[in-house]
Structure 1
Amino acid sequence: MAFVAENMRQADREELEALGQDSEEGIWQAFRASEQAWVMQEDAPMCVFGVIPTNLLTGEGIIWLLGTDNVKRHARGFLEVSPRCLQKIMATYSHLHNYVDQRNKASIRWLKWMGFEFQAAQPLGPRGLPFHRFDKRA
C-alpha cells in the first residue's frame, strides 16, 4: 500500500488532489472503507483496487483503483488480468460505479474497454473540476 501511495502515477495523484486528498490519505481511506481490496503486481506493485459497499441488498458498490507507472510498464499483463478481476467482483456486486477525472484519459479509455458506461462530466470536489460518473451493471 505504501509503495503505491509513494509511487502513484501522476494522473491518479491529480485526481485525488482534485477531490481534496493527497495520495496517502486517498489510498488509505479507500482501503479502510472497502469490503475487499487487492494488490496487483509483477516485479513490484502495479496498483491497489477494491470495492466499497454502498448497498448490500442491491449489490451496489463503489469500485476504485489507484496505480503506479508499473501499470504502463506491464500493460499486457494488466490488461489480461483486469477482466478476470472484474468478473470476480461482479459475482458479488451487480452494480459498480464511481467518478473519474475528465483529465485522466488513460483511465477513461481502460474503463470504457472494461465495459463501463459514462455520464457527462459534472463539477466535483472542492475545486469543481469536471468528473465523469461511470457505471457497470451485471
Structure 2
Amino acid sequence: MSSLDNGSSLKLGIPTLEDVDFVAANIRKSDRRDMAGLHPGKSVREIIMGDVEYSKFVYGLFRDGDIQAIFGVIPMSFGVGTPWVVGSTAVDKSPLPFARASRRLLDMLQRSFPQLDTWFCAQNTKSVLWHNWCGFEFEKEKVRLGRDEYFHAFRRVARRKMEVN
C-alpha cells in the first residue's frame, strides 16, 4: 500500500475479494439505494464485481489496514473513462479524508483517462456533493435511468496552451 500524501490517513492499495465482500456487506445506505435503483434484483456484490470486471484500474482506500472504499474506471473510448466508487459505512463517519483522497485519486486516473464521464443519482445528496467537490461539471438537465433521475457529469484535464516561439 502507498500513502496518497504525507498528511493523509488513507492508503491506496489493490482490494482483495475479501475487501469487496466487506464493502458489499457494509455499504453506505446511499450507495445501496443507488445500486438498487439501477440494477433491481442484483446483489451489491454482483454489481461491484461487474464494475471490477470491466475496469482498467481498481483501487481500494484503506485506513489502518481496513478497506474504506473501492474505486475504479471503466474505459468508454480513447481517453474517456467512467469512474465509479463504492464506500463502506466508515466513509460516512469520516468523509473529509475520503473526499480529499478522491480528488488525488481522480487526478491519478486522469493520466490515462483525460476525460471522466459519468452519471449519478440526483437524489443522492452525498454523491452530488462528492462530484462537485471533485471538480465534475454537471449538465443541468436530469435524465431518468431506472427508477431515479440522474445527472450527467464530466471532469476533464485542463489542456495547456502550447507557446509558439
Q: Same fold (TM over 0.5)?
A: yes
* Paired position in structure 2 for 1:49: 71
Moved over 3 A (4+): none
Deviation of 1:103 (Å): 1.5
Task: Give secondary structure in 2 for the equivalent of 1:96.
Answer: strand
- Is 1:13 aligned to residue 32 of structure 2? yes
Task: Give secondary structure in 2 for the equivalent of 1:62.
Answer: strand
Contact 2:28 2:92 in 1 (8 A): no
Alignment of 1:62-73 (within 5 A): 62-73=82-93
Deviation of 1:83 (Å): 1.7
Contact 1:42 1:74 in 2 (8 A): no
Q: CA RMSD in A?
A: 1.2
Deviation of 1:25 (Å): 1.4
- The percent identity for this pair of structures is 29
Deviation of 1:100 (Å): 0.8
Alignment of 1:1-138 (within 5 A): 1-20=20-39, 21-43=42-64, 44-56=66-78, 59-119=79-139, 120-125=141-146, 127=147, 129-138=148-157
Q: Deviations over 1:98-135 (max 9, x none)?
A: 1111121011101101110112211002x3x2011111
Contact 1:31 1:50 in 2 (8 A): yes
Deviation of 1:77 (Å): 2.0
Query: Given residue 58 of structure 2, which amino acid in structure 1 is its aligned partner?
Result: A
Q: Tell me whether 76-85 or 35-44 shows the greater mean CA deviation.
A: 76-85
Deviation of 1:22 (Å): 2.9
Task: Give secondary structure in 1 for the equivalent of 2:84.
Answer: strand
Task: Give secondary structure in 2 for the equivalent of 1:41.
Answer: strand
Of structures 1 and 2, the larger Rg is shown by: 2
Deviation of 1:46 (Å): 1.1
Q: Which has the higher contact order (CA 8 A, sep 6+)?
A: 1
TM-score normalised by the chain length of structure 1:
0.91
TM-score normalised by the chain length of structure 2:
0.77
Query: Given residue 79 of structure 1, which amino acid in structure 2 is its aligned partner?
Result: A
Aligned residues: 134
